[in-house]
Every structure is written in C-alpha cells, then in structure tokens.
Structure 1
Amino acid sequence: MRLAAYDNFDELEQCQSAWDRLADRCVFRTWRWLATWWRHYGSEDPRCRLHVVVARDADEQVLGVLPCYVHASAISGRTLRLLGDGEVCSDHLGLLAATDNRGQVADAIADALLSDPSWDALDFAAVDDGEPSTGLLLDRLQQRGCHVDTRPEQSCWTIDLPDSWDEFLAMQSKSHRKQLRRLDSRILQTDSAAWRHAATAEDFSIGWDVLEDLHQRRRQSLGEPGCFSWPRWRAFHEDIARQLLAAGELRLSWLELDGEPVAAEYHFARGSTVFAYQGGLSPEAADAEPGRLSLIACIQHAIGEGRRQFDLLRGDEPYKAHWRATPQAVHRVLAIPPRFAPRVRYRARTAIRNAGRWVQQAARLFS
C-alpha cells in the first residue's frame, strides 16, 4: 500500500470519483462538500494547512482517504482536524476506507501519522460511535502509544422510513398519529397550503431568500443572531447549495399558508438518505404549527422518492424522539502522539481546564 499526503486540493482532482465512492451515502463526506468547505474556511487562513492522506494499492486504486487539515495556535499547537468541522457542523465525519481494506488502511495511516512530527494533537469532532474505519484508526494509534480520549457530544437522530405514509403514521404514538392526520387533512391538503421546492435556479433564488428570512426572524425572536449573520457560513452554504442543486442532491423547500411563507427547510438527499440540515419558521405563524406541517411534507416527499432514512442530524431536541427517530452516539476524539512536547502541552491544557472547572464549581458553591 502506498500513501501520499496532499496540501493542495488541485492535486486531488484525480481522486474525486474514488473519494465519493468511499463517502457512500453521506453528503458531508463527499469531495464536493469538503473541497468547498476548505475553499471557504481553510485556504485563506494562514493558521491552516491542508493535510489529506490518500492510500492506494499497487494498481493505484484509492482504498482510503483521511480528509484533514492542520490548525496552528499558540495554545493548542498544531492540531490535526477533520475537514468540515467547526461552525458548519458537518456530521458523520471520519476516515474514508473501502470495506475490505479498512484494517490495512488504518494500519498504514496510523504508521504514517506517527512518523510525521508536524502535528501535536489529533482533535476529531462529530465521530459516530461504532464508525468502523475511524474506530480502527484510533485503535491503531492507541496501540502505537498515543493517548486517546473520547468525549460524548450530542447524538445524531435518524428516522427509518417505511414504504408509505400510512406505515409511517402507524409507527407513531396514538396521540401523535392523530395530530399528524389532523394537520395533513385540515391544512396541508387544502387550497390554503402550498408546499414548494426548488427544482431550478429561479426556484432556488426564491427559496433561498425565504429560508434566510424565516431562519433569521425565528432565531432573532429567540434572542440569537442566526446562522446567516455569519459571513463565511452564509457564503459557504450558498455556494454548496447551488452545487447540490445542479447535482440533484438539494432539497430546499418552503411552505406557504394563504400565500405567505411560514416555514422553510434546507435538506440534502444522497443515496437512501435525506439529511435535515437547517430551517426557518415565521414567529408570527407559530400557532399554525408551521414546523410540524413542513416536516410532514418533507417526510412524505422523502417516502415518495423511496428514501429509507431521514437523518435529523446532531442535537438532542425532544421532538426527535417524538417522531420515532433513534439516537446514534457521537464523540469528539482527542489523540496525543507519544512525543515529549505534545504530551507536556496536553497535560498543561488539561490542568488549566480542570482548574477552570474547579473555580466555576467553587463560585457556584459560595454564590
């Protein structure tokens, strides 16, 4: 097996189709998502250096990709992170590897990382518990002397979709089933409601404006700034959403009641899965339950397309279990190589963090 580390995305163009094959159904692992993320979040940041490791066999077939970058700071040192992390909140990140070669790829990349002194810590966010390829890599690093620490994050929640809406309703509790039927028949199936989705560039322009407006109004009504107030987040998502529209993987929709937009959804569809990423609601229409109405329409559409999973992504909001979604544990993983300077830095950071917690606890105790 031959490994190559890349610090320029242009040199990785030849890997795009193999990369997407290894990404499988997950939109957040694809070349398109991660290359666009790097262009907006990493390429112009002097603290960041691309570090993508590609594993190939003797016939030059790509067997694995570790899509990373190194972020340098005075406090944390040089930290190896997964592309797509941070404020974008990409889920299901990790090592991409062919099923039959996971062990070999994990061994080879672990050896390569430990022979590379250009990083001081590995900090991977949003790693699914039990994700096989990343799990093997972390095991191999630990076996080779790395200190590995895992910390729980909020779970990812997924609804397993049946073949029909009636079967989906049968999955719900009696009271929830009654509520969904009432909302569907009394509102969604009437002339007062119109559910629209973006199929063209013109549709996209309309829907994107609706999404931004409803998202910002909803978040600001809760005293929050809203994601569209973050310039890089906004630029990244408008860029990637247009690409996904062209690829047939964007599911941008909005619901109108009596001609007025009251809810919008920004979802993705790849393979058998719809990923429910972001949305917005009209605060003034809260009594009409626009969020629930919009979710009904989106799930009905996903079932109609033959999707098998509706991924509600990270976050332990109570409504997810109510819709019969099941949780998948997610961890943030930290690994420290068996070198003197990184170990000292890690112990110092841990001591400072523990001291800060003690001060907070003491303040609460005596307040």
Structure 2
Amino acid sequence: MARLGGRAVGIFPLYLETHRAYKILRVRKLRPIGAGGDTAPDDLGMLFDPVHEHAVARAFVDHVLNHVHDWQLLDLVDLPADSALLACWTQQSTQISGSIVRTTVNRIIFGDLPPDWDRYRQGLSRNRREVLGRKRRKFEAQPDARFFQIHQDAQIDSAFERLAEMHRQRWQGRTEEPSFTSPQYLGFHRALMHALLAQGRLRLYGLQMNAQTIAMFYGFRNGATLYYFQAGFDPKHLALSPGEVLMAYVIEAAIGEKCTHFDMLKGDYGHKRHFFQQTRETLGLRVYRPGLICWLYQVKARLAGNRVPAEPADHIDAAQTKLTASPIAESPTQ
C-alpha cells in the first residue's frame, strides 16, 4: 500500500508463488492477486488516486526492486495499455541486469450505449436487426417465455447453481478446464454475488420457458458501465439461440437503467462482436532477475525465434506457494 501524509493513495496486492519449470527448477514468481489458478481476470493494474498515479507507480517499482528480495520473475498481467506501471518499469530497465519484456496483448470488446433501445438497434446492420428480431420473436412464441432478473438474496444460490450447470454443459468436451468447477471458484462467486446484490451492483438475468431456466447472464454494474462476466445456456435449446437472445435483452435492460457503456471483458470472440465493435487492450509485463532462470527463458525465446519469452510448462508446487505479507510501498516517491 502506498501512503502520502498518512492517507492511502495506492494499492497493488501481490503474492509469491513457486512453480516448477522444466520439471526440475523452482521459479519464484511474483504475481498480482487474482492471477493464476482457474481465474481469467481483467484489468489487474493497481488501484490509485489519479492525482498521484505516477508517484504511486514509481514507489511500487522501487519497493519491489529494492525491498522484495525473494522473487525471480515478476509476472504482471492484464494491465491497462496506458498504465503508469508499464512506463515506470521501462524507465527502471537500466537498473536491472536481467530483462524486461512485454507479453501478449489481450483485446476487450466494449461499446458505448445510446439513450434508448431503438437507437441501439438502428446502429446495427439491417441484416443484424432482422436476425435479432426474428430470434427474439421465436423465443417469445414459446410457452411461458420470459426474461427475468434476480432481485432477492434468497434466489441467488439456486440461480447460481443453474448458471454453473449450464456453463459446464455448454463446454463439456470442448475444454479441459471450464469455469465453475472447483469448490474455491464456486464459493468465491457465490459469495461475491450476495455481496454485489447487497450493494445494488449484481446483474443476474435469465431466460425461462415452460418454467425452466434455459439461459443466464452474470455481470455487474460499476458506475455507468455494465460488465459482462459470464453466461451459460442449455445446449438442448440451441435452436432458439438463447445466449444471443438473452444478450440482446440484457443490453436493452442496461440502456433502460441509463448505463452509457457495456464492457464485454477479455476475449475477442465473434459472438461479442455481434453486439459491439469497439476494442481496448490490456498488456502483460515480465521482469526477470539475473540468474539461471532469466538465462533459460532467454535461451528458450531465442530457440523459438521469438523475442518475447514464452512461459514454460509449469507445475504449481502447492507446498511452496505462499502469500506475501509485507506491504509493497509505504509512501510514494516525490
């Protein structure tokens, strides 16, 4: 935590994790909390008072370089493209005899929302408007078809279980690690949903027909932006395009509650571009301290003909994983 005059002006939580590289060597990796495991986070930059962004970034970089000694690789992910941390690490490169490299860009789809649904529809192509209208009418023609939102705390757990079930069904056989599988992941998001609902920020929507939920959307509102986190639909009803129909309803609801932005979060997928076209980027940064690990990553990169070191096949050594307890910075540099 960075403080100025006793007031917190920045927070950047990191933890230390030990991996096995090449099945032999242990790599002590410093990472932002939220990265690793079965999570796929977005926007993992530091929290800061905008007035002090660069001072806070310099303080964090200085502290990690000079006061945190037990890491070999600093692996920052999903930083905003204009993050002061990226600039500060680049400026400090002359102090590091190891190496600093940027990693793969992640693209995030988003869109600005107009004041009303009709104007949003007019912004789509004629073919897209017709397709959406036809699919919505087809769904609405089903028995007891309805779009709904979860408003009560007592409804969250059953809705969450249905979302997780449909998501796993949808991705069964298509990926080895679908979301909503580990007890830790399930427990975290269940608790988070209850907390967000209490703050008025949870957006948990669904489609129902014949008294059965066939699709669900899980997101949250922050300020005037609605964030799409996860969704799921019952594969048995694929012919009704439930995921696409639900997303259109959600966008209409967001416009109705005066949201001005809709953020689809990480993943440049075609189904997201059906609704929005704007793109922003997040970047990664790896800092290697000098030594054997740095040398091995550099050799691997050269052999691969790639200037950006690629991550070796790592195996998490759970017995060696620990959280850093020391603060990252006590005060911003002046």
> What is the TM-score of this pair, normalised by structure 1?
0.75
Shift of 1:230: 2.2
C-alpha RMSD of matched pairs (Å): 2.4
Structure 2: unaligned runs, 5 residues or longer: 307-334
Q: Identity of paired residues, percent?
A: 24
Note the alpha carbon deviations across 1:97-139, whole angstroms, 9 max, x for none.
2211122112222222221222222101222322x33333333
The 5 A counterparts of 1:90-239 are 90-116=41-67, 117-130=69-82, 132-142=83-93, 144-145=95-96, 147-185=99-137, 187-188=139-140, 192-220=144-172, 222=174, 224=176, 226-239=178-191
Shift of 1:73: 3.2
Note the alpha carbon deviations across 1:170-227, whole angstroms, 9 max, x for none.
2211110122233345544987421122111222123112212211221126465632
Kept in 1, the 8 Å contact 2:157–2:190? The answer is: no
Kept in 2, the 8 Å contact 1:160–1:325? The answer is: no
Query: Hey, what's the Cα distance between the residues in 2 that align with 1:194 and 1:224?
Result: 33
Kept in 1, the 8 Å contact 2:109–2:276? The answer is: no
1:347 corresponds in structure 2 to 295
More helix by share: 1
Query: Hey, what's the Cα distance between the residues in 1 that align with 2:88 and 2:47?
Result: 11
2:2 corresponds in structure 1 to 55
Structure 1: unaligned runs, 5 residues or longer: 1-53, 359-367
Number of residues paired by the alignment?
299
Relative contact order, higher structure (CA 8 A, sep 6+): 2
2:272 corresponds in structure 1 to 320
Shift of 1:294: 0.6
Q: Displaced runs of 4+ in structure 1, greater than 6 A?
A: none
2:327 corresponds in structure 1 to none
2:13 corresponds in structure 1 to 67
